[in-house]
Structure 1
């Protein structure tokens, strides 16, 4: 088996975040992956399994999944076509092209781009790379927890894992990872922004639902329907998944605070997870007696942000 495309990312203790919640906060720094986010774990694994003899890969993505697919394809010497919706920042298109991918802009939201990717896979014989809904992706993402467990050692077990949910691929991978290391009793705090809350909507409705539209600025959380497996996990009595929402303003504030305190710039989709600490969600859950012990926060990263985009978001969300 060829070596992985992902790297074993640092697990850092955040003194400032630990102070906010009164317990140790460990940060799994997935922003330091070569493609800019955790997505390379699952997508790299899937490409190695399915695309070695491929004519090319096609992936629909508003950003990070596309970056991971383009990176993996370049490493494998296979052509990549990435279909992005028109809501994707120009910065993302440029970064995808820098990885050597062909970029097509189709439709307004990810669902439109995905329909085109499926069509191209069918008509042009390309390998379809799904951004979040595939067991091979979850298997790859599970390595986050395996690494964290190895790094923390047998004497430290997190009191909770905090992550952002878009389509649910990271959530499925983390739960797979928790099962692998015997941590199924560790609660998962699943964070979304209002307006990109397909998982929370499904949990509330007791069934998978499709949002009418994505109104949040956290475009990378912008799937209108969560993957079925993520919803099934939320209904499983052996697991504790706590679904929480923050506003776009809280997610953006978290991005800015994280940049000041940890010297790292991540996108708003990642800011949703960080906002669990900064906006008081974790404190509230602690007060309710639902959380005990140290936190493991997955800093999922993001390739669709730079200082110009950050200024643009600040301006947009202040109105």
Structure 2
């Protein structure tokens, strides 16, 4: 470990990397009753800490290896770090990436001067091809984490934290994939400040270090989740595990919903959007505070990367409320009769409905998929369920049901069977508490709702697609009710898509 201390202190990283700020997350600190500091590695030139280890490794290569060039296999941040480091040092870099790599990352590597080779459909296939090119062309392979020079480069993050905050720190929370970042930080911090706890944070579906620590040896996971693709590694590095096993105090696992909530927390404090791996530390801090009840402590999290794919933002926004325990997802059975939707909404009180999906299927009871906004977390969810059951509604809590959250919410509905006199309307209303209930009260008990689809997407206006059983001789009065409501609406009964899929 003394060798690592010297290597970190003399690491060549600042020719290309920058000393990133250690910023207080003011809003999160207030909520958690602790001082939360974020190490902003998302502000590096490649939006990730990976530039540190890559540059430190490449800069130490002898002249003959530089002349032949370097190569790495990566689908993300390491690829960009190697490409930019090689460009600054005037070295040719070949980056092998899976063919499935998003174009934004391929283009970023090319913009940094890297020669991109697309090969295979997985990281393992890309790595095997990179090793083949090493043998054929004499290129020097730059490993992403399991190398002393890479580890030392990443360790400069720990060096900066201690210089930026010499006062007491309770714990540093570090995202873990292959282990290079946590090995470097721990090797430095534990020699100078052994009182500071080093805590690893991993996704529940990629517990590489947690499983190895439990087994006392490195293990290879059968599969890993790829939502947090920056840490989607099946086996911890050999050297990184040797260090982590000795110096890491604790391993934490967080769910996808908790990661999404972490992304939202960081955005609210910094207006920056982390990639999933970049929010692991904040998710771990929140879980640690909730489970341990610590107060008035200083907790440091590493925001390790911000290379977010734009098409993931919708998923993140949808799941963040669940990760914050600010939304309950329930399956509720209500009577199939006019006015029952209104009575259901009145039962849940002033809470906002975030989602409401239903299709007529039975003449006696209706099965509703409902999302309900919460202000006080798990206790309030229990209160809502208790209130509904007290009114006689059968309730199934789906908040933790992955299948329901990913698939079922989009599949509720389908064709109506034996739905007489149904008309279909698209209604727009202001997205504020009480607006949906006002709509339901206007319908009163005169007409039965046979289909309802609503989801709050964060826009200024909510949009409802509603099917209503209105006999032909009452349709004039029905439209008059809508006119008095004042919400813009459109009759979609003649829409060919309705005839094809719903009626």
- TM-score for the superposition, normalised by structure 1: 0.89
What residue is the counterpart of 2:26 in the other structure? Answer: 15
SS across alignment from 1:140 = helix
How do 1:126-205 and structure 2 match up within 5 A?
126-153=139-166, 156-179=167-190, 182-205=192-215
Deviation at 1:240, TM superposition (A): 4.3
SS across alignment from 1:142 = helix
**Structure 1 CA distance, aligned partners of 2:151 and 2:296?**
27
What residue is the counterpart of 1:221 in the other structure? Answer: 231
What residue is the counterpart of 1:259 in the other structure? Answer: 267
Question: What whole-Å deviation, never above 9, does each CA across 1:168-196 have from its counterpart, x for those lacking one?
Answer: 0101111122145x112311111111222
SS across alignment from 1:50 = coil
Report if the CA contact (8 A) 2:13-2:55 is conserved. Answer: no
Equivalent in 108, 122, 127 of residue 135 of structure 2: 122
What residue is the counterpart of 2:291 in the other structure? Answer: 284
1:72 and 1:292, CA in 2 relative to 1: closer, same or farther beyond 3 A? Answer: same
1:2 and 1:314, CA in 2 relative to 1: closer, same or farther beyond 3 A? Answer: closer
Deviation at 1:56, TM superposition (A): 1.6
**Structure 1 CA distance, aligned partners of 2:268 and 2:296?**
27
1:162 and 1:178, CA in 2 relative to 1: closer, same or farther beyond 3 A? Answer: same
**Structure 2 CA distance, aligned partners of 1:267 and 1:220?**
8
Deviation at 1:306, TM superposition (A): 4.3
Report if the CA contact (8 A) 1:144-1:177 is conserved. Answer: no
Deviation at 1:69, TM superposition (A): 0.3
Deviation at 1:18, TM superposition (A): 1.3
Deviation at 1:100, TM superposition (A): 1.9
Report if the CA contact (8 A) 1:36-1:302 is conserved. Answer: yes
1:70 and 1:51, CA in 2 relative to 1: closer, same or farther beyond 3 A? Answer: farther
SS across alignment from 1:235 = helix
**Structure 2 CA distance, aligned partners of 1:120 and 1:177?**
35
Report how many residues are paired: 309
Report if the CA contact (8 A) 1:84-1:110 is conserved. Answer: yes
The alignment status of 1:295 with 2:299, answered yes or no, reads yes
SS across alignment from 1:244 = strand
How do 1:81-96 and structure 2 match up within 5 A?
81-96=94-109
SS across alignment from 1:233 = helix
**Structure 2 CA distance, aligned partners of 1:248 and 1:54?**
44
1:119 and 1:201, CA in 2 relative to 1: closer, same or farther beyond 3 A? Answer: same
The alignment status of 1:245 with 2:253, answered yes or no, reads yes
1:311 and 1:292, CA in 2 relative to 1: closer, same or farther beyond 3 A? Answer: same
What runs of 5+ residues in structure 2 fail to find an aligned partner?
A: 1-11, 320-401, 407-503
Deviation at 1:64, TM superposition (A): 0.5
Farther-moved stretch of structure 1 (213-222 vs 38-47): 213-222
CA RMSD in angstroms, aligned pairs only: 2.3
1:171 and 1:105, CA in 2 relative to 1: closer, same or farther beyond 3 A? Answer: same
What runs of 5+ residues in structure 1 fail to find an aligned partner?
A: none
**Structure 2 CA distance, aligned partners of 1:314 and 1:106?**
32
What residue is the counterpart of 1:36 in the other structure? Answer: 47
1:257 and 1:176, CA in 2 relative to 1: closer, same or farther beyond 3 A? Answer: same
Report if the CA contact (8 A) 2:13-2:56 is conserved. Answer: no
1:286 and 1:93, CA in 2 relative to 1: closer, same or farther beyond 3 A? Answer: same
The alignment status of 1:230 with 2:237, answered yes or no, reads no
**Structure 2 CA distance, aligned partners of 1:157 and 1:250?**
27
The alignment status of 1:206 with 2:216, answered yes or no, reads yes
Report if the CA contact (8 A) 1:208-1:231 is conserved. Answer: yes
The alignment status of 1:62 with 2:75, answered yes or no, reads yes
SS across alignment from 1:26 = strand
How do 1:41-56 and structure 2 match up within 5 A?
41-50=52-61, 53-56=66-69
1:185 and 1:111, CA in 2 relative to 1: closer, same or farther beyond 3 A? Answer: farther
- TM-score for the superposition, normalised by structure 2: 0.58
Deviation at 1:162, TM superposition (A): 0.6
The structure with the largest strand share of the pair is 2
SS across alignment from 2:186 = helix
Extract structure 1 runs of 4+ deviating beyond 6 A: none
